Amino acid sequence: MQLFSTPRNPIPDGATVGVFKGYDGKNLRYARWEPTVRVKQGTICVFTGYSEYIEKYFETVSDLRRRGFAVTVMDWRGHGASYRSMNDLRKGHIDDFSEYENDIQCFMREIVLPNCPSPYNALAHSMGGHIVLRSISKAGTCFDRVVLLAPMVKIHSSILVIPPKLIHAYCKVAKALGWGYNSLLSEPASNTTRINFNSNGLTSCRERYLRNCILQEVTSSFTLGVPTIGWLNAALNSIDKINSPEHFAKVRIPSLMFAAGMDNLVPCEAIEEYATNLKSSTAIFLSKSRHEILQENDEIRAQFWTAFDAYFDVTKS
């Protein structure tokens, strides 16, 4: 098992790379690093969004190591170099989000707890943030604190096109008819995202956008296209679950959430409202940020890291 690099996106030194067994014995890729400074802050477990993978977070890994954190990252099943259930590697599919959640438990038990220093904290983006929210509602969670960037607590209406209840009903019927493995769009799923920079809704940073486009050319089989009907059905089921009063009552882990003001995938107002329903949660609004906060321009990233450092009481060397 290996990591892939480009001149603009080198592999941080000292990586340990391998596989661990998911909840059903399938191989999932991970990487971990030690901090690069003497002051030790514990471990940050990075959990990526839909269609993302370890290599996209090399810059973030380096940022965290300089702050004294050991860092671990895993590829979700169906993502990156982890096990794929679909013959068409462009399709993103899952039957139930509990599969992702169960894989976190295996990751912590097999890789993080035996090899990394405590305390254990999570830094998660979008879909990864959603899965972490599921995980921290369980008794015995390993995380002390979590930082969630544009967590998928709801899907923007502009993406769904029709009201969520209608699309959810359609997905349920379609899955029952055996169409769950079909892509949401009639045309073949595409794993290419080299669209015009000015048309992208993910980041306002041209340099990081181009870096990620070049990385996708090197790791072309890693990037997913449009998810399947089954994936969206599972996502909407899980969104209902994490927005229930029962879920809110079970979450006692402190969380810091970031809402992006120019996000066209996850509505920022939904994140701010969600944070008010949790016992120990704070939401920070980044008015100029698009969806991928850690891939944003230096000014927006600096705002994020200032809040992060204050949250963890980081004293940079």
Q: Spell out the domains of the chain, with CATH numbers in brackets.
A: 16-312 (3.40.50.1820)
pLDDT, one tens digit per residue, over 151-177 is 999 999 888 878 888 999 999 999 999
pLDDT, one tens digit per residue, over 52-97 is 999 999 999 999 999 999 999 999 999 999 999 999 999 999 999 9
pLDDT, one tens digit per residue, over 12-41 is 999 999 999 999 999 999 999 999 999 899
Distance CA 255, CA 284 (A): 11
**HSE-up (13 A, CA, CB side) for residue 69:** 26
pLDDT at 1: 85
Q: Which residue has the higher pLDDT, 209 or 185?
A: 209
Type of residue found at 222: F
* pLDDT(150) > 90: yes
Name which of 68-77, 106-115, 164-173, 243-252 the model is least confident about. Answer: 164-173
For a pLDDT cut of 90, what percent of the chain falls above it? 87
pLDDT at 189: 47
| Residue of 204, 198, 203, 231 whose CA lies nearest to 50 | 231
Torsion on CA atoms 167, 172, 174, 175, rounded to nearest 10: 140
pTM to 2 decimal places: 0.95
In the structure encoding, which two tokens stand for residue 132, read together? 């972490």
pLDDT at 317: 52
Rounded to the nearest 5°, which phi and psi values hold at 28? -125, 135
Q: Put the strands of the sheet holding 16-21 in their side by side order.
A: 16-21, 27-33, 69-74, 42-47, 120-125, 143-149, 255-260, 281-286
pLDDT, one tens digit per residue, over 191-225 is 445 568 988 999 999 999 999 999 999 998 999 99
Average pLDDT for 248-261: 98
pLDDT at 160: 83
